[in-house]
């Protein structure tokens, strides 16, 4: 749900698609996600924790952004391959889009 929202879905779309009771629940999840805190689902079988961010070098960020762009901006897959958070990949890619290598 959080990834859909960060990828551009509206709050109402996310609430409806994931049957979330209230916008405050989604906002709380987004806050936890973007702060790289652990977030788990309380439903059975849905307990994967989010990947925490880690420090990276400039060269690593360039490699990560290139991989992301070469793979159709698949932020989640890129985060998994490089063991960084989705939000880091998303942020670096957006910065690269706006300012090129100087944004990283």
pLDDT tens, 7-29? 888 989 999 988 888 888 888 88
pLDDT for position 69: 95
pLDDT digits (tens, 9 = 90+) for 39-60: 555 554 433 445 567 788 999 9
Q: Within the chain, where are the H helices?
A: 2-6, 11-17, 23-34, 58-70, 75-82, 86-99
Give the per-residue pLDDT at 41: 56
DSSP class of 85: -
Residues in the chain: 104
Residue 47's pLDDT is 38
Token pair of 49, please? 């924790």
* pLDDT greater than 60 at residue 70: yes
Q: Which residues have CB under 8 Å from 41's CB, separation 6+?
A: 47, 48
- On the question of pLDDT at 89 being above 90, the answer is yes
pTM of this structure: 0.53
């Amino acid at each position: 749900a959080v990834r859909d929202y960060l990828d551009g879905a509206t709050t109402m779309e996310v609430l409806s698609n994931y049957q979330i009771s209230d916008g405050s629940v989604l906002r709380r999840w987004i806050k936890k996600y973007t702060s790289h805190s652990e977030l788990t689902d309380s439903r059975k079988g849905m307990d994967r924790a989010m990947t925490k961010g880690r420090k990276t070098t400039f060269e690593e960020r360039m490699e990560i952004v290139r991989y992301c762009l070469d793979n159709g901006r698949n932020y989640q897959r890129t985060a998994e391959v490089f063991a960084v958070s989705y939000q880091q990949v998303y942020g670096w890619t957006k910065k690269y889009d706006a300012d090129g290598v100087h944004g990283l």
